[in-house]
């Protein structure tokens, strides 16, 4: 039996953003076996700290992989460690005349490109080094020139494949110039090692960004020339920013690390990304196994998805409501947790679920409920200044009579003060919490406890701390 085997193959040249994270998720959802491969052949831009960061991000999102690095220690899943493997395949291509050394300099190539563009032609390698004889090559090598290795693209053919998402694709080889598979500094090019590794690692399906679509015919040609199995490719439409341009830092793309630091829950980010270009019938937080079960290639949208921060916050609110108590407690962070007395933990979490979207909001409520100094809003100050002391005295008496019973307290106060509705609740909220909005007063009354309630009614603070 052949499993669907997928992989996420990031280049560790920066932090992972929404687009890469979505690619990783779609591959995880689709693959029965899923892995991570680090494409770090560009040594000048790849950094081990980014490998660490991306593994941390994937783990935080809740993704698990069956093969790949577990810690950021280079091993067989780092392309930089596989150079000897690629060397074998270069030799095979060269022996069969399917690859040749190219001595063209960057300046020469740039010039040809310029000329072609000025003539309205698509840029393509001129073929200058395609037919150098063995003597010419030996001479250039003897001069110390370092050649790149180019793949010889067959002429007059069509590369056709069925894209898993975009359907039938056809590319004429005559539009593809011979391309570099090993740079002059000896490092393999993306086209080459990416294709070789997919074949050697038995990857059956590759889901990746639409920006790689034009690379696919080149990669299929390499695999065909080496008689290696090709995966099926599916190209996912890019994510666009709110301005309709491809998502980038400039128009709102954020890294997964930034989202984590802002207080987004992984369940929110995963559920948001899972629906960015894929439909799920249910509008509720689904676990990774549930998202996996319901993932279908037919449901991947052809039209590009738009990044809408409001949607992300929608999923965040839903996640805060539904994650386990344990996850929510963790999410609050050490500093907030330290403010909450053990006996109040459960009730406080209930309050957070329906009133907060981010930990900094929970922090405000922890301070209001469990600290003696907390912020007072201007609006609350105004209400308190206008509240007759008599009302607060009646409230204090009612609280004294009904210390553990909010409805007894509020009924007594209503009867004795003759106030109701806003007139009753506004000054009460202002005195008890220093603000006019917030969770149900019953929850606040219980969490503050009789001592704090009495103290705040006896001497309401009217200055902000
Ligand atoms: N390293 C490539 C990238 O990050 C991988 C592309 C692919 O998935 O094949 O874009």
Given the DSSP bridges, would you call strands 232-236 and 205-209 parallel, antiparallel or unpaired? parallel
The pLDDT tens digits for 297-322 are 999 999 999 999 999 999 999 999 99
Contact between 321 and 297 (Cβ < 8 Å): no
Task: Please tell me the number of Cα atoms within 13 Å of 414 on its side-chain side.
Answer: 10
Give the pLDDT score at 34.
98
Taking each continuous run of H as one helix and of E as one strand, the counts in the chain are 20, 11
Query: Which two structure tokens, joined as six digits, stand for 6?
Result: 């997928």
Question: Among the atoms of ligand 1, which is closest to the Cα of residue 208?
Answer: 8
- What domains are defined for the chain? 83-236 (3.40.50.620), 378-464 (1.10.10.350)
Rounded CA gap, 223 and 227, in Å?
Answer: 6
Q: Give 124 Cα–ligand 1 centroid separation in angstroms.
A: 23
Atom number in ligand 1 closest to CA 207: 8
Q: What is the pLDDT of residues 322-377, one digit of tens each?
A: 999 999 999 999 999 999 999 999 999 999 999 999 999 999 999 999 999 888 99
The Cα 306–Cα 285 span in angstroms is: 20
Question: pLDDT higher for 247 or 218?
Answer: 218
Cα(151)–Cα(194) distance, rounded to whole angstroms? 15
The pLDDT tens digits of the residues spanning 255-266 come to 999 999 999 999
Q: Tell me the CA–centroid distance for residue 191 and ligand 1, in Å.
A: 9
443-459 pLDDT, tens digit each? 999 999 999 999 999 98
Nearest CA to ligand 1 atom 10: 10
pLDDT digits (tens, 9 = 90+) for 277-290: 999 999 999 999 99
Q: Is 34 helix (H, G, I), strand (E, B) or coil?
A: strand
Query: Which residues are near ligand 1 (CB < 6 Å)?
Result: 9-11, 39, 194, 206, 208, 212
Closest C-alpha residue for ligand 1 atom 5: 9
Distance, in Å, from the CA atom of 48 to the CA atom of 40, rounded to the nearest integer, reads: 9
At residue 174, does pLDDT exceed 90? yes
Which ligand 1 atom minimizes the distance to the CA of 211? Answer: 10
pLDDT (0 to 100) of residue 464: 52
What pairing do the DSSP bridges indicate for beta strands 148-151 and 179-182? antiparallel
């Amino acid at each position: 039996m052949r499993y669907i085997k997928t992989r996420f193959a990031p280049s560790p040249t920066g932090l992972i953003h929404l687009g890469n994270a979505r690619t990783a998720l779609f591959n995880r959802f689709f693959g029965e076996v899923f892995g991570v491969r680090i494409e770090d052949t560009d040594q000048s831009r790849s950094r081990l700290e980014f490998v660490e960061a991306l593994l941390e991000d994937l783990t935080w999102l809740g993704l698990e992989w069956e093969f790949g690095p577990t810690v950021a220690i280079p091993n067989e899943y780092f392309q930089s460690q596989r150079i000897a493997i690629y060397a074998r395949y270069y030799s095979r291509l060269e022996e069969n005349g399917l690859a040749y050394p190219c001595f063209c300099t960057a300046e020469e190539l740039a010039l040809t490109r310029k000329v072609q563009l000025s003539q309205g032609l698509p840029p393509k390698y001129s073929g200058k080094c395609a037919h150098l004889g063995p003597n010419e090559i030996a001479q250039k090598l003897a001069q110390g020139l370092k050649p790149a290795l180019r793949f010889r693209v067959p002429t007059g053919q069509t590369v056709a494949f069925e894209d898993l998402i975009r359907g039938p694709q056809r590319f004429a080889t005559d539009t593809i110039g011979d391309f570099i598979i090993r740079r002059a500094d000896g490092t393999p090019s993306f086209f080459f090692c990416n294709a070789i590794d997919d074949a050697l690692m038995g990857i059956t399906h590759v889901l990746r960004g639409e920006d790689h679509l034009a690379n696919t015919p080149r990669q299929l040609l390499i695999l065909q020339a080496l008689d290696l199995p090709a995966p099926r490719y599916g190209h996912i439409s890019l994510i666009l920013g709110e301005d309709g341009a491809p998502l980038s830092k400039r128009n709102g793309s954020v890294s997964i690390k930034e989202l984590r630091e802002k207080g987004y829950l992984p369940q929110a980010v995963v559920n948001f990304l899972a629906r960015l270009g894929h439909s799920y019938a249910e509008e509720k937080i689904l676990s990774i196994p549930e998202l996996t079960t319901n993932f279908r290639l037919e449901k991947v949208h052809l039209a590009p998805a738009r990044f809408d921060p409001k949607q992300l916050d929608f999923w965040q609110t839903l996640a805060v409501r539904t994650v386990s108590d344990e996850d929510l407690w963790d999410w609050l962070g050490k500093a907030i947790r330290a403010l909450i007395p053990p006996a109040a933990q459960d009730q406080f979490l209930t309050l957070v679920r329906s009133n907060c979207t981010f930990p900094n909001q929970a922090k405000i409520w922890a301070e209001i409920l469990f600290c003696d100094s907390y912020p007072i809003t201007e609006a609350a100050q105004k209400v308190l200044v206008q509240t007759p002391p008599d009302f607060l005295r009646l409230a204090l008496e009612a609280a004294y009579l009904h210390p553990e019973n909010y409805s007894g307290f509020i009924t007594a106060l209503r009867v004795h003060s003759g106030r109701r509705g806003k007139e009753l609740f506004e000054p009460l909220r202002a005195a008890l919490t220093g603000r006019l909005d917030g969770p149900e007063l019953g929850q606040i009354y219980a969490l503050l406890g009789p001592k704090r309630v009495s103290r705040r009614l006896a001497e309401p603070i009217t200055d902000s701390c």
